[in-house]
Chain A
Amino acid sequence: MASLKELKGRIASVKSTQKITKAKQMVAAAKLRKAQAAAEAARPYAERLEKVMGSLASKVSISDSTPKLLAGTGKNEKHLLVVATSDRGLCGAFNSNIVKDVRIKAEKLIAEGKQVEFFMIGRKGRPVINRVYPGKIAGEFDTTEIKNPHYDDAKAIADELVERLEKGEFDVAWLFYSKFKSALLQEPQTQQIIPVPIEEGTDAKSTAAVDYEPDEEEILSELLPRNLTIQLFRALLENTASEQGASMTAMDNATRNAGELIDNLTIEYNRTRQAVITTELVEIISGAEAL
């Protein structure tokens, strides 16, 4: 059995761990509210833009002059997986869930004989991807300085992706992030962002004559980069909210586990103390009887 001093030390150390997890939980809870509001406020724009994109994309005939963002490069060889993760840990399985989806997709693409490269947003996904697919990280975007994702941040990422596309560094891009459902539930998402996926069956309803000002192509060339930016922006916001949610839940569990551990240790400590007192008494009494 552990000595009294040892037990005391262990209780103290678990208590200080609990303090940390509790603090992190409260911080996450406070940040979550803000992040959640931001993520939810951004949804209508993204949803409407997606609708507009869908109806526009189904109407435009694809020719050589169609922007690459819509039509693709005409090949399907090089795939870029854009992975958005968090910068900090202490958020449970949040990052590993995203990375798990990335690996499933990457394995599938590699099995089909495609080339796969990665573009990392956020710090936490990097080590894992680098270990499993060494040398395959084509680029990254540092978000450590960004507290709340802004539209301009998404724009910077979008610009870089478009530049890489123009250079022919990839043909298809996929985006991975975690959609925020609730503090308890975050769903990892896999989404094709380049070229824009055209939904089948949308053109049946939208055959009505629509006037375009200026014309389709000019609208498209403006709309496509914006759509990409918005998709990225949404991913960043959803990710921030999900990270805080996951962090809150994970830290809540950790705090509770630490509490249980402290209870058990305290019981053991008291038992040991009792045993020590009893032994001492027995020694004194037997000493007195011997006289």
Chain B
Amino acid sequence: MALHFELVTPEKLLRSEEVHMVVVPGTEGDFGVLERHAPVMSTIRDGEVKIFASAGATPETVRVEGGFAEVNAEGLTILAEKVVEEN
């Protein structure tokens, strides 16, 4: 029960890990991605990506600015224009 999640910016590959769920700030609204999600391609707005490492865990948030999210059979890939790391 794990979703392969990748967060990539033009500068570098930030994350590549197995997580439970990721909530993506899509242009037309947030959507959560779990394992075996149907294939989706969406632009994303400036906002927070919430990463749930396991079910019920406190989400980790990463601020992204602009980009794309693609869900396919391999998992979720977020191509973000910019990432503002939370400290």
Contacts and interface: CB of A to CB of B under 8 A. Distances in A.
Interface stretch (A42-50, A165-173, A181-189, A256-264): A42-50
Interface of A, secondary structure class, is helix
B41 A211 contact: yes
Contacts of A38: 11
Contacts of A42: 10-12
A146 to B, nearest CB: 15
Contacts of B32: none
Interface in A40-79: 41-42, 44-46, 48-49, 52, 56
B84 interface: no
Contacts of B39: 208-211
A219 B39 CA distance: 15
A213 B68 contact: no
A223 B79 CA distance: 10
A176 interface: no
Interface string A209-220: 111111000110
A214 B28 contact: yes
B27 A213 contact: yes
Contacts of B73: 208
B40 A223 contact: no
B70 interface: yes
Interface in A186-211: 208-211
A213 B79 CA distance: 15
A141 interface: no
Nearest to B44: A213
B61 interface: no
Nearest to A41: B12
Interface of B: 6, 8-13, 26-28, 38-43, 68, 70, 72-73, 77, 79, 81
